Structure 1
Amino acid sequence: KKIIIDEIEHETFFAKEAEKFGISNIRDFVLGMNDGLVEILGAVTGLSAVYVNNPLMVAVSGSIVGVAGALSMGIGAFISVRSQRQVNKALNEKIEILFDVSPSKALGTLKEHLKEMNIPPQVIEDVVKKIDDKKALAKLLIKEDDENEIRSGLFTGFAYLFGVLFPVLPYFFAPSSLVALPFSILFAGLALGTVGFIISVLSGIDIKKKVMEMVVAGFSAAGFSYLFGKVIQAIFGIDIDV
């Protein structure tokens, strides 16, 4: 019993520390970085087919798209988290009103909810009898979302920008886009593999399978984008040698 209590205390401590240092937002960071990697790798690969001899144009264009994407992702994460919390708050208030107006109906709804969670009937009855605070009962129905929307937006946006660096960086130094492209794919592939590894460790998914999934998805996007760039170049007769 003492060991179990100690474990619970340790888990609670680490959870609080994780929240304090923003480690709980690692999901936002991973998703943001993954989007930045895949989207910008696809963009610079497609542009490489058009601006073969102008890698700087590819680098600048990719960077502009990356900044716009980071702002979009960051704002999207901010709005999403904020909206979810507002919805949960409104639902909690409605449930509290329901407990005031029709306690029996509210308790019935609560029991059904707990039953769906496979909680034994006797435990449900004990919970309902012992907890007489309507706010506490309402929280059993609607989970409060205490995620910080500002931190979530910042993590997502900066992670996206961080992901942009890997596919874009080679184009600032290479003499041509075709020279930069293999390095861009290599750097992005290594980064995608790392992201896949982190996701698999956090979620318990098979590491090899997840890493391959991430890398193949990224490279597929790059391949299709390059072909699309070539098609556009052929259709519109674009021939840029500078």
Structure 2
Amino acid sequence: MAINDRMLKVLKALQKSELTEKLIYINIAKYIKDDKNRETLLRIAEEEQKHYDIWKKYSKVDVEPSKLQIFFYTCLAKIFGYTFVIKKMENSLNRSLYNDSADDELKELVPEIETIQKAELVHEQKMIELLDEERLQYVGSMVLGLNDALVEFTGSLAGYSFAMQSNKLISLAGLITGISATLSMTSSEFLSARSEGDKNAKKSAFYTGIAYLLTVVILILPYLLLPDNMYSLSLMIMLVLVIMIIAAFNYYISVAKNLSFKKRFAEMSLISLSVAAVSFVIGLLVKKFLGIDV
């Protein structure tokens, strides 16, 4: 069967995707200390090379990888962890190519396409599941720190906003509350993990504390950056940040651990915003009935 211009373009796009993924896997494997995980990534890279060779057999040409994507995904892996990035990459790089290009003409041209698709969708996925990244072992600790910070600190800032009506005072109270709560949460997680015989109690406490502290810093930024009398705007921005943090974290977890995004996002959002609303009302009531005018 003769290869027309459209099919040649499809073949070259598939080649480019396979080669790009291969080099991303190799780059990520270079900085992974765990031998098992590194070997898993290198095996996946070998699979990508085999698929590249099959496409090349029909296109008869070599192609260049996407250097931008290699750089992007490699950097992303260093920031967010390689498990998240690999699963995200596998879902976005050439899945659309396979879905869009696996028409009758391509199947007729490349009899091996079903084998390649099966390997991409099954074999590589199984190897990815073998990855055992440390930070994902402490997702529970991160959820604990993040959730507590969102619920408690969102409520505190909402209450402070209309009790104090001053960004300077709200920031001061928020920083004191946030740092104290971070230390309290970290120590509590350490003691809890230690009492359960967890040998990695320090790491559990670390991930809990970091998640809590980062959330505190992000939520208090509007009060620190905006003028003193713009506490209402600071509150609205803070609530938007709450939604964004919940969305970003749950997206990360849903991709890395194959969990439902919508359910987790809706649940955390409802809890955090409900507590903020209740605290907002409490702040108004305290200011009115105690006759405090700050």
Q: Under a length normalisation based on structure 2, what TM-score does the superposition of the two structures give?
A: 0.53
What does residue 187 of structure 2 align with? 75
Q: Which amino acid aligns with 1:209?
A: K
Structure 1 unpaired stretches of 5+: 86-144
- Structure 2 distance, partners of 1:70, 1:212, is 25
Offset, 1:202:
5.4
Could you say what the CA RMSD is over the residues aligned between the two structures, in angstroms?
A: 2.5
What does residue 42 of structure 1 align with? 155
Confirm or deny: 8 A CA contact 1:43 1:225 kept in the other structure.
Answer: yes
- Structure 1 distance, partners of 2:233, 2:125, is 54
Offset, 1:198:
3.6
Offset, 1:191:
0.5
Q: Which amino acid aligns with 1:80?
A: S
Mark the CA change 1:51 to 1:201 in structure 2 (over 3 Å): closer, same or farther: same
Match of residue 24, structure 1, among 133, 137, 149: 137
Offset, 1:194:
2.0
Match of residue 172, structure 1, among 220, 224, 237: 224
1:1-242 matched pairs, under 5 angstroms: 14-15=131-132, 18-19=133-134, 22-52=135-165, 54-85=166-197, 146=199, 148-175=200-227, 176=229, 177-201=231-255, 204-240=258-294
Q: Which amino acid aligns with 2:234?
A: A
Confirm or deny: 8 A CA contact 1:42 1:222 kept in the other structure.
Answer: yes
Q: Which amino acid aligns with 1:152?
A: S
Higher relative contact order, chain-length normalized (CA < 8 Å, sep 6+): 1
Paired residues in the alignment total 172
Mark the CA change 1:10 to 1:239 in structure 2 (over 3 Å): closer, same or farther: closer
Mark the CA change 1:158 to 1:7 in structure 2 (over 3 Å): closer, same or farther: closer
Offset, 1:40:
0.9
Structure 2 unpaired stretches of 5+: 1-118
Superimposed CA distance per residue, residues 13-46 of structure 1 (whole angstroms, 9 cap, x where no aligned partner): x22xx23xx4311221232122112211110110
- Structure 2 distance, partners of 1:83, 1:225, is 33
- Structure 2 distance, partners of 1:44, 1:205, is 31
Superimposed CA distance per residue, residues 72-131 of structure 1 (whole angstroms, 9 cap, x where no aligned partner): 11111111111111xxxxxxxxxxxxxxxxxxxxxxxxxxxxxxxxxxxxxxxxxxxxxx
- Structure 2 distance, partners of 1:167, 1:190, is 11
Q: Under a length normalisation based on structure 1, what TM-score does the superposition of the two structures give?
A: 0.64
- Structure 2 distance, partners of 1:79, 1:39, is 21
